[in-house]
Amino acid sequence: MAAPVLHCSVGQRRANKRHGHGRMEYCNGDAFEGEWVSDKRHGSGKYFYANGDVFVGTFIRDAREGLGTIYMVRILFTMTLQSCSVADTLAAV
């Protein structure tokens, strides 16, 4: 999941980069709130989609990683997803 174009950032910074807890709002209406390390989403967080859906889970180096839950506003249930890591994908090749 590539991050959309940036719009507004609020939160902790280190060396002029997002680092620690913060929130980023994107031009397309999406937003991310959670942990940052050196300007990348890294750790626990919530990704809010413009359509109202929300992903809650873990991010590693700016990508969803491991278990997470997607709450979909137009569907009356939630599902837990497990994404594979880059290492798992390379091991399968």
Examine residue 28 and state whether it is found in any structural domain, yes or no: yes
Buried-state track 14-30, b at ≥16 Cβ within 10 A, e below 16: eeeebbeebbbbbeeeb
Which pTM value belongs to this model? Answer: 0.69
**4 vs 42: which has the higher pLDDT:** 42
* CATH label of the domain that carries residue 39: 2.20.110
> Whose structure tokens read 């890591």?
85
72 backbone dihedrals φ, ψ, rounded to 5°: -105, 125
CA distance 82 to 1: 14
Examine residue 29 and state whether it is found in any structural domain, yes or no: yes
Do residues 58 and 34 touch, judged by C-beta distance below 8 A?
no
Domain that holds residue 51: 6-92
CA distance 82 to 66: 5
Structural domain count of the chain: 1
pLDDT digits (tens, 9 = 90+) for 26-67: 989 999 999 999 989 999 999 999 999 999 999 999 999 988
Examine residue 1 and state whether it is found in any structural domain, yes or no: no
Output the pLDDT for position 53.
Answer: 93
Mean pLDDT of all residues in 20-27: 91
Mean pLDDT of all residues in 4-11: 63
